[in-house]
Structure 1
């Protein structure tokens, strides 16, 4: 009897794994199809060797979504998508509404939060999040939403993204409609405010998202400089789990699993070349502070290049936008699918042991 039962259980387990794999493959395939629409760069270009500032002549912002365009997009999608709910969680220093996109059907289901543009000059992650939101309104995403709650905070630093700040941006390199800056209107780095929580943007995030919803996972999406490399090849991005010693080991393990899903979906499939980010242990940073304060598994993803900067070497030419937006969409879709079907629990974290920490070709990179 024991042998028969064991055989039945083994067969059932194989069937479950097959269903999970099929489900996740379909979900990610849909995202890949969407990502191709998001940018025209071919797969062969989806690596870190894309053109930098000097290769592209100038950095322009005219193709990037403005705050008003983002709000119009969110309201339009909210009207179109029955599963989506749009909530205002607070205001910026300059009085702009901050939005939370919600796909929450059952609080008992696992929940993931995607956070973009804490730094206003790191916008391609927001562009990717917009494509992902549109994707969630299609039939291809129905299975994902059955298994996971999704929260998205796009453009947390809306003032910085619009260049509407109380300090000069004359030395920034972008041309076009506006400058974009790392800091909020008061010149504060929001990703150094997760302990004191002084700025209105940070307060809105913590008071009306982190403390209001039971969140299991968070991916904090950023951009870094253009010269980071791994194994002698420029990276398209880098990832890191919480590194503060105060983080619960179980939370760190779940964070590593989240990173495993991202790495296997992006790096090993040829859509990017990822390194391990060299980040600090300060809990003022969301990756560390949120993991400790709320017990949430967190992952930092740093995309290559910034949309604007006062140092030309940190900004990236517009011809790289396509593959970076693709990389964002794949990251969001693959992690949502893995949580929805439960396969994240089986994610292999041993790759972290051999993943090389990136280094800079010319020394020094922007902090997360």
Structure 2
């Protein structure tokens, strides 16, 4: 299939993570800057993603695929489940609340395939895994009721942050008006006993920590209403991710600067359901009207690898219980990222 290039890069990352990487790793990858074609055809379309999930379900005895609702435009919203024992701790991975943030979805799809291999043998005996691989398919397909004429990507398909009605789904976790948000809460958050959630996003391409561009940034719930034990669990989840990614030599994480609003999933879900949550903002977006937010596609492989590394590390840490002993003191010294102001600063 036409996703072979991305699949091979990501899959190779699973077995070659110890090998030396090129200097242009994620944090130093190419900015768009108007000089590069941004080709969204190399990303899974919604229908290709659906077909991929159905094929994986047919191959994997432990995987179950569930439709949890429909988008504004009537596209089925999928939940991937690995649930051998309801008593096991459960983690939810959520991707593409924002339709133009797709490389986390690409990584999640590779991770789903990874779960069906011998590399993960025995891991799912001790942890339940839920994955919503594309909460905003209408935005991901550019099938929206507003103009995308100013967006950067070439070709017929644009990807946008908002759902078909121009609503930011990650600001709808209190009123829950949009069908996509309702499906997530009614058919996932309220239905399953979830202990941890990682909400995977993308941010702009010019954030830095300690003078170096970041490959991503992380943050725990920052609402004052979060339970202290839930907050501590969130910080431990962040410690697992930071240790797995920042130590690689190609990953470089900062602390995200985020607000306290409970309309945001990171905050609202932690308070409403008592779930330890972590926001992970990967570097760069697949499409946008604001050029500095878009990252050159030569960095796709590294960003997909970063997603896979994150999912793999957290699943293993929860399965073997090592997450409980993680040291969260690194949060006290992790620098907040800042925006690099000009190309001359690089």
TM (norm. structure 2) is 0.93
Runs of 4+ in 1 over 2 A off after TM superposition: 31-38, 40-47
Structure 1 unmatched runs, 5+: 1-30, 364-368
Decide which of 70, 76, 96 is 1:117's aligned counterpart. Answer: 96
Q: Give the corresponding residue for 1:342.
A: 321
Structure 1 residues 237-276: aligned runs within 5 Å: 237-276=216-255
Root-mean-square deviation (CA, aligned residues, Å) is 1.8
3-state SS of the aligned residue for 2:311?
A: helix
2:65 is the alignment partner of 1:66: no
1:137 CA displacement: 0.3
Does the 8 Å CA contact 1:56/1:319 hold for their aligned counterparts? Answer: no
1:300-319 CA deviation, whole Å, 9 max, x = no partner?
00000000000111101110
Does the 8 Å CA contact 1:162/1:180 hold for their aligned counterparts? Answer: yes
Q: Give the corresponding residue for 1:54.
A: 33
Does the 8 Å CA contact 1:34/1:131 hold for their aligned counterparts? Answer: no
1:57 CA displacement: 1.5
Structure 2 unmatched runs, 5+: 1-9
For residues 32 and 330 of structure 1, what CA distance do their matches in structure 2 show? Answer: 11
Q: Give the corresponding residue for 1:149.
A: 128
Q: Give the corresponding residue for 1:221.
A: 200
1:34-93 CA deviation, whole Å, 9 max, x = no partner?
54689x993543341110102751211010100000000000000000000000000000
Q: Give the corresponding residue for 2:7.
A: none
Q: 1:143 to 1:46 in 2, by over 3 A?
A: farther
For residues 34 and 122 of structure 2, what CA distance do their matches in structure 1 show? Answer: 42
For residues 271 and 337 of structure 1, what CA distance do their matches in structure 2 show? Answer: 21
Decide which of 305, 323, 328 is 2:307's aligned counterpart. Answer: 328
1:143 CA displacement: 2.0
Q: Give the corresponding residue for 1:42.
A: 21
3-state SS of the aligned residue for 2:277?
A: strand
For residues 185 and 41 of structure 1, what CA distance do their matches in structure 2 show? Answer: 43
2:127 is the alignment partner of 1:127: no
